[in-house]
Structure 1
Amino acid sequence: MDYKKPSQKFTGKIREVTVGSGLKLGGESVLPFYTFDGDTGAKPAVGMEIWDVFPKSWPQSLKDIFGEYADDPVKWAKFCIEKYNPDFICIRFEGANPEGDDKSPEDCAKTAERLSREVSIPLMIAGCDSNEKNAKIFVKIAEALPDKNYVFLSAVEANYKEIGAACGMAYGNIVSAESSVDLNLAKQLNILITQLGVKPEKMVMNPGCAAVGYGFEYVVTTMDRIRLAALDQNDATLQLPIISPVSFETWKAKESIATEDDMPEWGDQEERGIAMEVSTAAGVLAAGSNAVILRHPKSVEIIRKFIDELL
Structure 2
Amino acid sequence: MLKKPAQKYSGKIGEVEIGTGEKAIKLGGEAVLPFYSFDGNTGNAPKIGMEISDIYPEDWTDALKELYKDVSSDAVKWAQFVEEKYSPDFICLRLISADPNGEDASPEDCAQKVKAVVEAIKTPLVIAGTGNHEKDAKLFEKIAQETEGRNVLLMSAVEDNYKTIGAAGVLAYNNKIVAESSVDINLAKQINILVNQLGIDNEKLVDNVGCSAGGYGYEYVISTLDRVKLAALTQNDKTLQVPIITPVSFETWKVKESIEPEADTPEWGNQDDRGVSMEVAAASGVLASGSNAIILRHPKSVEIMRSFINELLG
**TM-score, structure 2 length as denominator?**
0.97
TM-superposed CA distance for 1:200, in Å, is 1.3
- The one-letter code of the counterpart of 1:223 is L
Aligned ranges 1:51-66 → 2 under 5 Å:
51-66=53-68
How many angstroms apart in 2 are the aligned matches of 1:10 and 1:199?
22
Secondary structure at 1:147 match in 2: coil
* Deviation readout 1:160-183 (Å, 9 max, x if unpaired): 111111102111111100000000
Match of 1:221 among 220, 223, 231: 223
- Within the alignment, does 1:184 sit opposite 2:186 as a pair? yes
TM-superposed CA distance for 1:148, in Å, is 2.0
Secondary structure at 1:154 match in 2: strand
TM-superposed CA distance for 1:267, in Å, is 1.1
- The one-letter code of the counterpart of 1:17 is V
| Number of equivalences | 310
2:233 is matched with 231
Match of 1:133 among 117, 135, 145: 135
Q: Which runs of 5+ in 1 are unaligned?
A: none
How many angstroms apart in 1 are the aligned matches of 2:31 and 2:202?
17
* Deviation readout 1:197-250 (Å, 9 max, x if unpaired): 112111000111111111000001000000000000000000000000000000
TM-superposed CA distance for 1:147, in Å, is 2.7
Q: Which runs of 5+ in 2 are unaligned?
A: none
1:301 is matched with 303
- Within the alignment, does 1:81 sit opposite 2:83 as a pair? yes
How many angstroms apart in 2 are the aligned matches of 1:100 and 1:10?
47
How many angstroms apart in 2 are the aligned matches of 1:63 and 1:244?
23
Secondary structure at 1:121 match in 2: coil
How many angstroms apart in 2 are the aligned matches of 1:290 and 1:215?
21
TM-superposed CA distance for 1:262, in Å, is 2.0
TM-superposed CA distance for 1:125, in Å, is 0.5
TM-superposed CA distance for 1:12, in Å, is 0.3
1:4 is matched with 3
1:262 is matched with 264
- The one-letter code of the counterpart of 1:115 is V
- The one-letter code of the counterpart of 2:19 is G
Moved more, 125-134 or 35-44: 125-134
1:249 is matched with 251
- The one-letter code of the counterpart of 2:3 is K
Match of 1:118 among 107, 117, 120: 120
Secondary structure at 1:125 match in 2: strand
Secondary structure at 1:78 match in 2: helix
How many angstroms apart in 2 are the aligned matches of 1:241 and 1:160?
18
- Within the alignment, does 1:154 sit opposite 2:153 as a pair? no
How many angstroms apart in 2 are the aligned matches of 1:263 and 1:163?
44
Secondary structure at 2:4 match in 1: coil
**TM-score, structure 1 length as denominator?**
0.98
Secondary structure at 1:153 match in 2: strand
Q: Report runs of 4+ in structure 1 exceeding 2 Å deviation.
A: none
What is the root-mean-square deviation of aligned Cα atoms in Å?
A: 0.8
Secondary structure at 1:46 match in 2: strand
* Deviation readout 1:84-109 (Å, 9 max, x if unpaired): 11000000000001111111001001
Identity level (%): 59
How many angstroms apart in 1 are the aligned matches of 2:6 and 2:29?
18
2:34 is matched with 32
How many angstroms apart in 1 are the aligned matches of 2:296 and 2:51?
6
How many angstroms apart in 1 are the aligned matches of 2:125 and 2:71?
18
How many angstroms apart in 2 are the aligned matches of 1:70 and 1:184?
39
